[in-house]
Structure 1
Amino acid sequence: MFAIARPVRHLRPLGGFVALLGSLMALPCAAQAQVDPGLWVDLVSDQRNRGLSWSDGEAAAQAYVYLPIKGEFSTSAQVTSLRGSTRHGGADAGIDLVGTYADQKDLFRWHGSVVGHIFAGGQGDLDYIEFQTGAGTTLGPVDVDVLVSYAPEQDAIGGSNFYRQIEASAGIWGTPVVLKAHFGRSSGHVEDRLKAERLRPGGAYNDWGLEAEYALKAVTFTVAYTDTDIDKDAIRFPALAEDHGAAIVAGAHFAF
C-alpha cells in the first residue's frame, strides 16, 4: 500500500510499515525534512500492506503522529483499525512505535528506523520488531526510493522476514496529481510454518502496485491498484488464504 508524502512513512499499515505506505506505503520510503510535529488521519477502503489485506478486506482508519526530537532524530506513532483481522489473531488495532534517523544531502536522502509492531485485542503472541533502512534521489521529474526491512527471528512471525521495495513517483506537470509505482519482494527463514504464513502466505512472494494521488489543500485523495504473485494452492492454512490478490483501494488522507 502506498502513502502520502510525510516524514519517513514506512509501511502501510503498521510499519510502516509502520507504514505501508510506501508503504510502500511506509510506508513511502523517502526520508523528508520536517521541522514541526505533524498529524495525519487516513481513511481507506482496505488496509493493504505489501499486497496483503490487514483488515480482512474491510474499510479501515489510520492515525499517524510525527514528533521531531533533535537534529535528524524523530519519533512517530501510527494506529490502524484492523477490524478483528484474521491475519493478526483477531486484533482490533495495530500500533506502530517508531524511532528514526533521517538526513538529506543535495538530491540524496536516507533514513534508518526501528519499528515496534503491537497488536491490540488479538489472541496469542502477535507483537514483533522490525528494522528498516531506505535511500532515495530525484532523477529529473521522478523520485526514486528503495526500502529494506528486516524482522529478525521471532516467535510471533514464525522465523524472520526480509522485505525490499523500489518505488518511483512523479507529478503530472501543471496538476495536483502524483503517480506512483512500486515493486517489492518478501522472503525469510521459517521456524513455524503457520506463524510464518501470517506475513508470507504460501512462502516468498512478490507484490506490486500503481497509485494516483490528487491533492486538494489539506486533503489528498488516492486510488491504488495492488496485486501479488501468491499461489493460493501453496497456502497450507485456509484462514490466511484470502485478501492477497488484485484489489482496487480508495483513500482520503487528511493533514492537520
Structure 2
Amino acid sequence: MHPAAEHSPLGKSSEYIATYTPSLLFPIARAAKWAELGLTAQTLPYKGVDFWNCYELSWLLPSGKPVVAIGEFCIPAESPNIIESKSFKLYLNSLNQTAFADRQQVQATLEKDLSAAAGMPVGVRIRSLADIEGEGVASLPGTCVDDLDVSISSYDRPQPELLRCDASRVVEESLHSHLLKSNCPVTSQPDWGSVVVQYRGAVLDHASFLEYIVSFRQHSDFHEQCVERIFLDLQCLLKPEHLTVYARYVRRGGLDINPYRSTEMLDVDNRRLARQ
C-alpha cells in the first residue's frame, strides 16, 4: 500500500457532504511510487497527463435548478501529487447542492481546488451531454493482441522478463489489449482497462506483450503507476526512438482515469471507449 493511502477516505465509510467542501480532496505524493521505479521528479523519462472524466458532475443555478454535465480534468504527469480517487468523488459530490452563478464559476472553482491538490495547474473542461454524444465511441489504434493463442499462468506481479524482442529489426507500430487488469492497492477491488503501446524501435514480440500485460492481473497499484511501469519496462527492452503508453480505465463511481506517458509531446484523444 502507498504509505499515504491508509490515511485517505478510500476503503472507509464516508459521509455524503452535498455542499461545497474543497478540504475533501486528498493529495498523495507521487515521489514514493517514483522511487519504487528508480525515478525522481528530476529524472522522469516521459511527458504525459492523467485524464480524469467525471460523468456525475452537478450543481445548482442561482434559481435552485440543478445542472448536470461531464467534467474533463487534465493533471500533468509530473505534478507532485495524484488526487486519491474517492476523495475526488466526494469533493465533486459536494457541489451537488451548491449554487454557482454560471458554468464559468464552476470551472474556475474546480481549476483552483484541483490545482492546489495536485501541486501544479490542472486543466478543466465542463462539457454538455450533447458534446459527448456527438463524439461517439472511439476505437483503439493498431493491432489488438488479445486473440493470440498463448498459455498463461503468472498473474501476481508484473513480469518484464516475459517480454521478448528482435533487436535486429526496427519497426514502427501500435499495439493494444483490452485485457489489462490490476487491483486497487487499498481496497483490493479490481480496476479494468485497455492499454495502448505506440513505438519505433526493436520489434516487440506480440505474444510476449500479451503475457506481460496479463501478469498485472493480481498486481496491486494505482492506475498511474501501472502505466509508468509498462512504459519503463518497454523502454528498457526496446530502446525505442519514441514510445507512448496509455491506458483507458473503466469508470468507478462516475470517474474514469486515463494515464498517458510518452517520450513525445502528446495530442491526446480523450474520447471514451465502448467499456467507458
- Structure-1-length-normalised TM-score: 0.26
Which of the pair has more CA radius of gyration?
Answer: 2
Q: Which has the higher helix share?
A: 2
Larger strand share, 1 or 2: 1
Greater length-normalized contact order (CA 8 Å, ≥ 6 residues apart): 2
